[in-house]
Amino acid sequence: MVTRMPELPPGDPRLLGTVGPYQISVREYPEAAGRNSFAPLLQVQVEAAVGDRTTLRGSIGPHPAVRVLPPAMDVIWGVAVLVPFAVGIGRLVTRHINGLLLTFLSPLLWGVPVVGTTFIAARSLERDIPKLMDEICGILHANATFPGPAAAPSADDKT
């Protein structure tokens, strides 16, 4: 038995995910279809608002499974730094300096991928979150507000 996939509307798909009557979880299609682990995911609850309006309340950011990556890499990097550093201190105390340079440089070899991954993830999210929000707002003919650090009063504001 052969099942046929439903025909897609003309043009490329714009979003990838699930849309239900009470919950939406989507990513922008080209980024999410590839292996971009840092493509932002919009997860919102659909709520009725005053009049004939609807409010989407939720979050946008990396997929929950990807959020554990930076802390896990920090732990691995911490062990990779502490072990060679302890070995280096032990070598210094016992006056064995052979291989000491490599012992102290090895944490840098571990640190470059961690810092690189963190930098790539941050830049990817900075670039792609506004694109996803613009796409959603364009589809829904809506606008978005972002409560958060920009909306919070600063320490200089005294009331």
82: three-class secondary structure by DSSP: helix
- Dihedral angle computed from the Cα positions of residues 39, 43, 26 and 144, in that order, rounded to the nearest 10 degrees: -90
Q: Please give the pLDDT value at position 74.
A: 76
Q: What's this model's pTM, rounded to 2 decimal places?
A: 0.61
Give CA–CA dist 106/91, Å, rounded.
Answer: 15
Give residue-wise pLDDT tens across range 68-95.
777 787 788 778 777 877 877 787 788 7
Cα–Cα distances in Å, from 141 out to 102, 130, 135?
58, 16, 10
Give residue-wise pLDDT tens across range 100-144.
776 777 777 777 777 777 787 788 888 888 888 888 888 888 777
Give CA–CA dist 59/41, Å, rounded.
Answer: 8
Give residue-wise pLDDT tens across range 44-57.
998 888 888 888 88
pLDDT band per the 50, 70, 90 thresholds, residue 153 = very low
Q: Please give the pLDDT value at position 87.
A: 79
Q: Read off φ and ψ for residue 26, nearest 5 degrees.
A: -140, 160
Give CA–CA dist 15/131, Å, rounded.
Answer: 12
